Amino acid sequence: MNSIRPIVDTRDGRVHGRVVDGVYAFLGVPYAAPPFGADRLNPPRRPDSWSGVREATAFGAEVPQLKPDNPHWAALLLAAFGGAPDNVTVFGESAGAMSVGTLLGMPGSDGLFRRAIAQSGAAHQATPATTALRIGRYFAEKLGVAATHEAVAAVATDRFLSAQAELKADLLAQPDPERWGAETVASTLLWQPVVDGDVIPDRPLARIAAGSAAHVDLLVGSNTEEWRLFLVVSGLIGQITEQILTGPVSVFGSMSLAAYGLPVDTALAAYRARYPEASPGDLLAAVQTDWWCRIPAIRLADAHVGPGAATYMYEFGWPSTAFDGLLGACHALEVAFVFDILGKQSEPLLGPEPPQLLADTMHAAWISFASTGDCGWPRYDLTRRTTMCFNTTSHIATDPRAAERALWDGIR
């Protein structure tokens, strides 16, 4: 590979990348044919080959549909770019972490990666087929077409996307669990992986508990105050009242504690005991943090533990100083530390002068895990539940979230 003009031969043709800060970058390399025309809403098809050298120096257009064959494509091309196909780590945050959790339970991904990292997302978010069919019918009605694959695929992309937004607005305006399904109302996510019995044979967490990812090392964790990001930035944290918090789901939707499955009185008593100075908005953020991220991370680690591959757990607790310190250790805050990119446009979320030592520590741990499968702290097991707590001064804790884990037992 020429370091000045890096060119790589792939199975579909030659690509020309660039070097950025000593790192080779190949961007916009097609992993499937464009999903339009006959390929619209169909399984991905191998891209057409090309002659000459294709520029791979900028990202391509964002694809309007999920491509589940990405890991297959990556495995095929890794060797051409100097990678090791038998030492692949899949790695995601938030919805990306939920995608990782889904892959861990998919038969089609077996053997395609050696390790997985799930930050602030796990293996809970999958829609039952019956709920997906119902939402699909609502979507077809919104489009004004028959509820068939062919009819929906024939709709223009612009109308397709606007109808999705309209249906989301309907959900938020009338969050009736009888109409949408209880978990759809809680998550407000109409479009998620579907348990279809084939690509996703069962809920990913159940598949993982049965051993589907027994050969994959796992690093999973969450941030201490995940959902404050959304409530603080939107201004909702100061608008949540006791009436909203304890009100009916059919009126208040995901702002109602009842949306999350815990009995309201039980939830209020438990969270007020833990956070005695909390406002109604603070309490909602704490419940949503546990529902969305903390409990799913714990359940994923519990399901994955076994005699085979390693399991590691972390919690990120450094609080941002941005937004007058209201964010806490919120969603996505750890990303700049993991990639060691503090100061590179990270100030709006992190505030000034975040601790570089913490970035050094986390970046090294992630690199070590991806390279060797060892994070540098003891593995997680069902006896001690060892968790690395990242902060200005990081420390190892034993089962630090026992109370939350017990509270949500049998519910989440």
Q: How far is CA 181 from CA 164, 230, 246, 283, 287, in A?
A: 17, 23, 20, 24, 20
Instruction: Sort strands 13-16 and 53-55 into parallel, antiparallel or unpaired.
Output: parallel
Collect all residues with Cβ–Cβ distance below 8 Å to 355 and sequence separation of at least 6: 318, 392
CA distance 191 to 312: 30
Choose the catalytic residue: 212, 256, 320, 331: 331
Q: Which helix (H) or strand (E) holds 77?
A: helix 70-77
Beta carbons within 10 angstroms of residue 39's beta carbon: 15
Verify whether residue 94 is a known catalytic residue.
Answer: yes
| Residue 150 is among the residues annotated as catalytic for this protein | no
For residue 334, give the amino acid letter.
E
Q: Is 226 a catalytic residue?
A: yes
Q: 95-104 and 295-304 helices cross at what angle (nearest 10)?
A: 20
Burial tier of 378 (Cβ tally within 10 Å: 0-12, 13-18, 19+): middle
> In this structure, are residues 350 and 321 in contact, taking their beta carbons and an 8 Å threshold?
yes
Given the residues 16, 94, 250, 279, select the one marked as catalytic.
94
Q: Which residues are catalytic?
A: 94, 226, 331
